């Protein structure tokens, strides 16, 4: 689950990280009052969408000469003018895709006098099984280019979970940034605070880009992106409350309402499976035969007929899907329940693309009979290999 920048800053502030003061608004009429709460004389009007690259982004409706999705203003009036122009329009950034995202919310923030823009993120470094800081002196709006062209400028500092962020870790990060004076002092509390926020709240990613050194020598978190580990959200009701469903894929919301694991991908074969291992094997074998999965929906063990039907409807709702492969190994899950769910879903929403079904395991004969007697145009497959070849052939 992702949250907005202004929410992420609120969370980080709670852990003692230095952030600017700011006010989130959803209508232009709130802009003036919001800006007047800030000290000035510099204001920043920031689009709140779940995508980065806003500064360099362009509004579809405003043409290429208009300013981007993060704008500086030197007066309250200018901030209001920006807010009025930005709200409701569609921002296209390197991360949104061509469709862009509608800006329904702005964060009006105190402007900072920036001396240096640094990059700092925390993530789970699976190669060492630890939370790690990833830092670079080359912060700001081009970190992707830095990672591509000069990867040696990106440094990783993994944290020992038993010790937490030690003085030595802070020194290592501070040296990598070349911090001195007030910034070096600030670092002693900032980096442990970021680590504590990450681990306490079960984050999957915390990215501060840029972390700035201001002209007064102090550090400030100027941008913040936070993603939470969905599997741990059940123990963070306060974070769950920050969810903005208008920013999420409708199919993923529907899937999570049914407690289904749904993942959208780039290809055109929709996959219904049970279990993560079977999902991966199914996707691998589709690729082996020359096609790409459009998505997969894992119905897990012991799903009801209604849940299976919901999964099937989510898969077919993706316009990229040109064929569906149902690949189920019935262990706890029963093949007849899968068959009933698929038949119920097809009766409700129809079947416009080829469907290949491979069932194996508990109640397989009953499951096959339900599919056969349904009268639906379903291609039965004997095993995984056969199933993959049949769906790839049907889509080609």
Residue among 2 and 209 whose Cβ is closer to Mg ion: 209
Contact flag: residue 207 with ligand ADP (CB under 6 A):
no
**Contact residues for 131 (Cβ-Cβ < 8 A; gap 6+):** 122, 123, 124, 125, 158, 159, 161, 195, 198, 199
Q: Which residues are annotated as a binding site for substrate?
A: 274, 331-333
**Contact residues for 367 (Cβ-Cβ < 8 A; gap 6+):** 330, 334, 335, 336, 338, 339, 359
DSSP, collapsed to helix, strand or coil, labels residue 81 as helix
Binding ligand ADP by CB under 6 A: which of 1, 8, 45, 112?
A: 112
Question: Omega into 156 within 30° of 0, i.e. cis?
Answer: no
For residue 6, how many C-alpha atoms fall within 13 Å in the half-sphere facing its CB? 19
Contact flag: residue 54 with ligand ADP (CB under 6 A):
yes
Distances (CA, A) of 66 to 53, 62, 79, 85: 16, 6, 15, 10
DSSP 331: S
Residue among 208 and 242 whose Cβ is closer to ligand ADP: 208
Contact flag: residue 111 with ligand ADP (CB under 6 A):
yes
Contact flag: residue 100 with ligand ADP (CB under 6 A):
no
Catalytic residue among 6, 43, 107, 119: 119
- The stretch near ligand ADP (CB under 6 A) out of 76-84, 107-115, 243-251, 279-287 is 107-115
Binding stretches for Mg ion (CB under 5 A): 209, 223
Residue pair 294/281 in contact by the 8 Å Cβ criterion: no
Distance in Å, CB of 327 to ligand ADP, minimum: 40
Q: Which residues are annotated as a binding site for Mg(2+)?
A: 209, 223
- The stretch near ligand ADP (CB under 6 A) out of 27-35, 47-55, 188-196, 292-300 is 47-55
d(CA 172, CA 65): 43
Residue among 209 and 295 whose Cβ is closer to ligand ADP: 209
207 is catalytic: yes
Residue among 220 and 334 whose Cβ is closer to ligand ADP: 220
* Sign (positive or negative) of CA dihedral 270, 275, 276, 278: negative
Residue among 223 and 252 whose Cβ is closer to ligand ADP: 223
Binding ligand ADP by CB under 6 A: which of 24, 34, 53, 76?
A: 53
DSSP 180: -
Residue pair 334/371 in contact by the 8 Å Cβ criterion: no
Q: Which residues bind ligand ADP (CB under 6 A)?
A: 20, 44, 46, 52-55, 70, 109, 111-112, 114, 117, 140-141, 209-210, 222-223
> Which residues participate in catalysis according to the annotation?
119, 207
């Amino acid at each position: 689950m992702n949250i907005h920048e202004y929410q992420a800053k609120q969370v980080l502030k709670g852990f003692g990280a230095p952030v600017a003061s700011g006010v989130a608004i959803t209508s232009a009429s709130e802009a003036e009052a919001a800006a007047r709460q800030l000290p000035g004389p510099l204001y920043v009007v920031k689009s709140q969408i779940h995508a980065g690259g806003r500064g360099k982004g362009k509004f579809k409706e405003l043409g290429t000469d208009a300013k981007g999705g993060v704008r500086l203003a030197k007066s309250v009036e200018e901030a209001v003018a920006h807010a009025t122009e930005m709200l409701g329009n569609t921002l296209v950034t390197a991360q949104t895709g061509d469709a862009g995202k509608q800006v329904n919310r702005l964060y009006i923030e105190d402007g900072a006098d920036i001396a240096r823009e640094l990059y700092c993120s925390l993530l789970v470094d699976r190669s060492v099984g630890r939370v790690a800081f990833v830092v670079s002196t080359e912060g700001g709006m081009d970190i992707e280019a830095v990672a591509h062209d000069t990867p040696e400028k990106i440094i990783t500092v993994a944290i020992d979970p038993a010790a937490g962020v030690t003085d030595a870790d802070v020194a290592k990060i501070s040296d990598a940034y070349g911090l001195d004076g007030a910034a070096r002092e600030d670092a002693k509390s900032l980096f442990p605070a970021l680590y504590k926020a990450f681990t306490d709240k079960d984050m999957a990613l915390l990215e501060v880009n840029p972390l700035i050194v201001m002209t007064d020598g102090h550090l400030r978190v100027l941008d913040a992106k936070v993603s939470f580990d969905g599997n741990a959200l059940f123990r963070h009701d306060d974070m769950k409350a920050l969810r903005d469903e208008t920013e999420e894929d409708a199919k993923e919301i529907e899937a999570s309402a049914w407690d289904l694991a749904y993942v959208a991908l780039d290809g055109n074969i929709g996959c219904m499976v049970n279990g993560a291992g079977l999902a991966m094997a199914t996707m691998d074998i589709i690729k082996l035969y020359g096609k790409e999965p459009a998505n997969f929906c894992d119905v897990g063990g012991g799903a009801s007929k209604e849940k299976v039907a919901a999964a099937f409807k989510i898969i077919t709702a993706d316009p990229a899907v040109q064929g569906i492969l149902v690949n189920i190994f019935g262990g706890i899950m029963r093949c007849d329940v899968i068959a009933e769910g698929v038949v119920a879903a097809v009766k409700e929403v129809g079947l416009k693309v080829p469907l290949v079904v491979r069932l194996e395991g508990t109640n397989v004969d009953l499951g096959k009979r339900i599919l056969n007697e349904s009268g639906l145009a379903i291609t039965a497959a004997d095993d995984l290999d056969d199933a993959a070849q049949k769906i790839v052939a049907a889509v080609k």
